[in-house]
Amino acid sequence: MVSNLVRYLPFAGFFFVCSSARAVLLSVLPLKALSLMGTAQLVSVLFFMVSACGVAVSLSVPMVLQRIGLHRCFLLSVFAMVASVVLLWTEAMWSFAAGMVLHVFGVTSMEVVLSLYIMQRIPRRQLPEFEPLRMVSAVVALSIGPWLGVYLQSRVADWLPYLIAIGGTVATLIYFRWLGLQLMSLPERLLPAGNPLRHIGRFFLQPRLRLAWGLILTRSSWWMMFIIYTPIYARESGLGELMGAAIVSIGSAWTLTLPFWGWFARRYSLRRLMYMGFTVAAGMSLLVFAVSGTPTVAIVLLAFAALGATMLDGSGHVLFLRAVHPLERSEMTGVFQTYRDVANLAVPGFFAVLLKFFALPVIFVGAAGWMLVGTFFSRYIPRRM
């Protein structure tokens, strides 16, 4: 086991470099959008429009992969990431929006490609040993990046986070070639199964798949709210950009507790874990709204709400994997993964409407509302899980 850990450590480190390239901009981008648009409501409109384009772009990734192959798709994602950062660097709204769309494509395509490389490089029996290494590598980057990006932008130079993001992307390419991943070929059976929308009817006819998709959509939507609106709330409430970015970093760092929550699910049941996670996240989000006039208290409660959402992350994709038929796994996985696109689209769209009529703290009521829905439906998780 120790020899396997040493063997896979360089590959796990690759995910630190890869995650660092985008983590440094995680809190910078919502704040940049606020500066360009002027209000949180207009930021929501912008993110909704970008996400609508991003969904269409994301759906093209499997087709691009099948047409040009794994290595070229990775190179395309690297180019898209670099080009997107250059556009995001500018001060024009149109170029920022175009950069966001390109950024979505770059991140999505790279995630798909790297997941395929993992399946090809790591034997299935050794995945339980590799996954904690990969997770820790990515989480360390996501815990440091949001705060570091805002700190460098506000205290050192406005352009520095963008330069680091470009440098991180180039370092990802260098690391990729150092690992020799460009020499690997992919069996056709591992390629994504084209456009997932072809299988959407079959997917939603199955109650357990609907439940798995709905619960993970709820969880993903909360994180979407947290990442976009926490820095904005901190700035608007007078706490400052650095405090908002620090809370995003702390919320990401909770992910290091995932091994414990995985153990909790195995020991006490997945149903109990998810019920508890939804309840904590919903309750804390409501408390954040209640004390939003006292930002120093609200921001601490928001960090603990992120802990509740992290409990839900402890379930991983177990509900889906237990529900899907083995012969349909490839097709159903494509539909299942659309939860990210729907969350990216629904959250800013929903808040664009709410913020038209209410003040910024209403976002915490909205987030608490859908987490309470998750609490209700988690009762339908089979008791034996």
Per-residue confidence (pLDDT) for residue 76, from 0 to 100: 93
Q: How far is CA 41 from CA 166, 349, 350, 362, in A?
A: 30, 10, 10, 11
- Give, rounded to a whole angstrom, the gap between the first and last alpha carbons of the chain: 28
Per-residue confidence (pLDDT) for residue 198, from 0 to 100: 72
- What is the four-CA torsion angle of 292, 295, 299, 304, rounded to 10 degrees? -50
DSSP 8-state class, residue 124: G
The three-state secondary structure class of 231 is helix
Per-residue confidence (pLDDT) for residue 385, from 0 to 100: 66
Per-residue confidence (pLDDT) for residue 196, from 0 to 100: 62
Per-residue confidence (pLDDT) for residue 136, from 0 to 100: 80
Length of the chain: 385
The three-state secondary structure class of 1 is coil
- Please choose, from the candidates 193, 248, 220, 170, the residue with its C-alpha nearest in 3D space to the C-alpha of residue 346: 220
Beta strand spans in the chain (E): none
Residue with tokens 């970093």: 249
Per-residue confidence (pLDDT) for residue 317, from 0 to 100: 72
CATH (one of 3.30.1490.20, 3.90.226.10, 3.10.290.10, 1.20.1250.20) for 9-192: 1.20.1250.20
CATH topology of domain 199-385: Growth Hormone; Chain: A; (1.20.1250)
Furthest C-alpha separation in the chain: 59
Per-residue confidence (pLDDT) for residue 5, from 0 to 100: 57
pLDDT in tens, the chain (385 residues): 455 556 777 888 888 999 999 999 999 999 999 999 999 999 999 999 988 887 777 777 777 877 888 888 899 999 999 999 999 998 899 999 999 999 988 888 888 788 778 777 777 667 666 766 777 888 889 899 999 999 999 999 999 999 999 999 999 999 999 988 877 766 555 555 556 667 788 888 899 899 999 999 999 999 999 999 999 999 999 999 999 999 999 999 998 888 888 888 888 888 899 999 999 999 999 999 999 999 999 999 999 999 999 998 877 677 887 787 777 766 677 778 788 888 989 999 999 999 999 999 999 999 999 999 999 999 888 877 6
CATH 1.20.1250.20 domain extents, the chain: 9-192, 199-385
Cβ burial, residue 369 (10 Å; 0-12/13-18/19+): middle
User: Which run of H or of E encompasses 301?
Assistant: helix 295-313
Cβ burial, residue 49 (10 Å; 0-12/13-18/19+): middle
Total-model pTM: 0.88
Q: Cα separation of 378 and 95, whole Å?
A: 42
Per-residue confidence (pLDDT) for residue 145, from 0 to 100: 92
The residues near 230 (Cβ < 8 Å, ≥ 6 apart) are 27, 244, 247, 248, 251, 299, 302
Per-residue confidence (pLDDT) for residue 330, from 0 to 100: 63
Contact (Cβ atoms closer than 8 angstroms) between residue 28 and residue 103: no
DSSP per residue, 242-298: HHHHHHHHHHHHGGGGHHHHHHHHHHH-HHHHHHHHHHHHHHHHHHHHHTTTSHHHH
Q: Cα separation of 46 and 325, whole Å?
A: 39
